[in-house]
Every structure is written in C-alpha cells, then in structure tokens.
Amino acid sequence: MSRIFITKILPLLFTAFFSLSLSARADLYPVPADAPNWCENAKRYLTPTGSRKPIDCAKPKKVPLCIKLNNYGCLWQPTRAGWEGTDISKGNNGAHDNRGMRANEPINNGHSVFVHPKWSISAKFRWFYARAKNRSFLKLAERYLPWCDTQGSSKVKNGWYNSCGLKAHQLVKNRNYCRKPKTGNPTRDQCNSCNCPDEISAKWTNGTGLSIHDPAVLFNRNGTPNDLMMNLTLSNSTNELGGYRPNAKIMKEGGAVFSQWLKQQK
C-alpha cells in the first residue's frame, strides 16, 4: 500500500498542488478596455455632487478615468500581486490600465481595473489598514499620494513633470518637477498640477480637531473602519472620481468584502 501511495498517488497530489499554485498566481497585466459594466455600476453606486450632472454613458471620454475602471479608490496595483477582484482575465488578479511610469519610463503597472467596485472599496480599506498604524495623517498622505507624482499620474501636467524615480542628475534644468519643496510649502501652481499631501491630509482632518501631524487612528480595536476612516474614504473617492460620491450601498458592499478579508487574517 505504501509503495502504491509513493509511486502513484503522491505524484498526482503533487501535480494537483502545483496546478493550484499556478492558478492562484496574480501576475500584473494591462487590459485595453474599460472595466465591465462600469456605466451600470456608476449609475447604481455614484451620486453627483455640487453642479455635477448624472453620468452620461454615451460620452465616456468625459467620464473620470477611475469610474470607468470600477476603481472607486483610484488605487494602483501592488507591485507583487494584484488586488482581489481585479481578475478581468479569469483566475488572475492583476488587471491594470498600463499607465505606470517610473523615471518617466513605462512599467508593467497602473490603476487597478476591478470586475466590481465593491472590491475597490475593500482594497482602499486594506491599503489604509496596512499603513495607518504609527503614522501621522501627513506621513500617510505622503504614501497615498506622493509628492513626486502629477495629478492623474501623467508624465507632465500644466508644465509640471513627474519626478518619481528620477535621480538628481536626471532632472532637467529650469523645468518644474513635482516634489516636496525644501520649505515644505508648495505653491498654488504646483498643487494645481501635482499631488500635495499636506493639502490632502488637511482635508482628512478638517473638522475633527486633529492636526495633520497627529496619529492617524482610522480603525477600531476589532479592525473595522471607524467613522473617520469612512469619512476619509468618501472624501478621497469623491475627489478622485471627479465629484461623484460613492453611496451607502456600495460602501456597505465594500465593507462586507473587507470584513470577510479581515476574518481571514485572524
């Protein structure tokens, strides 16, 4: 019996395990089109704010990018493995929009493309859950929207250039680059084109009585998002989605996905 197990059954088990391991891999890969059902999802889960009009599916070029990616957090893919729910190619979490740049050279990464926006809300909670501990609001904002990047992660915006990954000798003289000013105080011109984490963190703490230098306590003891985290998520997403605010329904669905993930970590 032991001989049969070693010579016949054990190789079959190894093959099955190896195949399962391959199928569970998450290789990053670009997708050429928008996310499936993005328009239906936008109509169901997003509310226009201010003077914004309802989403017009017939004019997709006027729709903010991340809405068309089902990505309500405008998150990029992690470098090692894709977010859950980005399996546009079945069985492979890793779909992105191919907008990644490093030192102004294309890389295999970009904004995540989700099969459903609930996964993007969960991913946003997970991003902050992994990084908020022992960080101030400002330090957290500098990780979330780094100084080196333009708004929209383009190579150049309004004459300001992305500097992510560039060495000092690679910077062109007399060119405006997105980066943290030596004084710590960016100009209005810079913040109209580049990420300005000091402004973002100020929005996060507005009305809370907290400073941008205070610890970012965003989760309850049991790991669930607290009210500040929920408000931060809504504020961020509304800004990142061009004035369209995720409604209570998608926040609840995304929260349920996050809760399930949280249980798996314990």
So what's the pLDDT on residue 154?
82
User: Mean pLDDT across the stretch 234-246?
Assistant: 90
Confidence category of residue 12, pLDDT binned at 50, 70, 90: very low
Whole-number mean pLDDT of the chain?
A: 88
User: Residue with structure tokens 């999802």?
Assistant: 41
Determine the angle formed by the axes of helices 227-240 and 248-265, rounding to 10 degrees. 120
More confident of the two residues 4 and 179: 179
pLDDT score, position 103: 62
Per-residue confidence (pLDDT) for residue 152, from 0 to 100: 79
Mean pLDDT of 74-90: 90
Neighbours of 108 (CB within 10 A): 14
pLDDT computed for residue 10 by the predictor = 44
Closest CA to 76 of 134, 143, 171: 143
Cβ pair 90, 24 in contact under 8 A: no
pLDDT (tens digit, 9 = 90+) per residue, 194-212? 999 999 999 999 999 999 9
Question: Does residue 19 have a pLDDT over 80?
Answer: no
- The neighbouring-strand residues paired with 92 are 89
Q: Residue 224: what residue type?
A: T
How far is the C-alpha of 58 from the C-alpha of 47, rounded, in Å?
18
Helix (H, G, I), strand (E, B) or coil at 112: strand
Q: Residue 17 — very low, low, confident or very high, per pLDDT cuts 50/70/90?
A: very low
Q: How far apart are CA 77 and CA 82, in angstroms?
A: 5
Pick from 31, 37, 35, 23: nearest CA to 92? 23
CA distance 6 to 17: 16
Question: Which amino acid, residue 151?
Answer: Q
- Residue 68 scores a pLDDT above 70: yes
Burial class (CB in 10 A: 0-12, 13-18, 19+), 86: buried
Predicted TM-score (pTM) of this structure? 0.84
Q: Where residue 99 falls among pLDDT bands split at 50, 70, 90?
A: confident
Residues 138-145: what's their mean pLDDT?
Answer: 94
User: 20 versus 181: which is more confidently predicted?
Assistant: 181
**Whether residue 2 has pLDDT greater than 80:** no
Domain edges within the chain: 26-132+226-266
DSSP letter (8 states) at residue 135? -
Is residue 219 pLDDT above 50, yes or no? yes
